[in-house]
Amino acid sequence: MAENKIKITLVKSTIGILKSHKDTVAALGLRKIGQSVVKEDNEVTRGMIAKVSYLLSTERV
């Protein structure tokens, strides 16, 4: 069984956004614009992505 992974890229700045949204971006492991991380595609990750979707770009790996 193949593991589902999702590539998450920060495409907008976190300057001027809510602290909880900044914390969510940091929890995903993102710091700089253009930085990408690969995470497991599960409910927790999907919820974090949904919360800050306006800052991110995602794609399946």
| Domain residue limits, the chain | 5-60
Q: Which of 2-6, 17-21, 30-34, 38-42 comes out lowest in average pLDDT?
A: 2-6
Task: Please tell me the class of the 5-60 domain.
Answer: alpha beta
2, pLDDT greater than 70: no
pLDDT of residue 16: 97
Share of the chain above pLDDT 70, in %: 97
3-state secondary structure the chain: CCCCEEEEEECCCCCCCCHHHHHHHHHCCCCCCCCEEEEECCHHHHHHHHHCHHHEEEEEC
20, pLDDT greater than 90: yes
1, pLDDT greater than 80: no
